[in-house]
Amino acid sequence: MCIIGDVACGKTSFLQAIIGDMIYVSNKTVSQLGGMEATMTGDQLLAQQKSYLSKPLEEGEQPIIVRGSISYSEQNSWMRNMTIRDNILFGKPMDDMRYV
């Protein structure tokens, strides 16, 4: 499977949800903790995770079931302290026809 999409469209969130690295925090809980600008302590996050994982699925909800194995390689962007051209070419000669 390959996940493709625009910047900030939720690709990483989708993958993190599948592998169990993201927990659901309801709007009600966010409001109770002070809104979107508030931060949660580690204890609050653990309590929220335990609460969410212990509740039964609602009608129509399906658990994520992985059949097989998952490999996830996170992308971290970086640039060398060089020109944009050098960061693209990585020391190879410029092929003008390729970049027309």
Q: Using one digit for the tens of pLDDT, what is the confidence trace for 32-62?
A: 878 878 787 888 888 877 887 777 877 887 7
Give the mean model confidence (pLDDT) for residues 60-70: 79
pTM of the complete model:
0.47
Whole-number Å distance between alpha carbons of 64 and 2: 17
Q: What are the angstrom distances between the C-alpha of 22 and each of 11, 48, 79?
A: 13, 11, 28
Most confident of 34-38, 68-72, 88-92: 88-92
Whole-number Å distance between alpha carbons of 88 and 94: 10
Say how many residues make up the chain.
100
Q: What are the angstrom distances between the C-alpha of 68 and each of 13, 21, 26, 27, 65?
A: 21, 18, 30, 33, 10
Share of the chain above pLDDT 90, in %: 7
Give the mean model confidence (pLDDT) for residues 2-24: 83
Indicate the range of 12-16, 74-78, 90-94 predicted with least confidence. Answer: 74-78
Measured over the CA atoms of residue 26, residue 31, residue 37 and residue 41, the dihedral's sign is negative
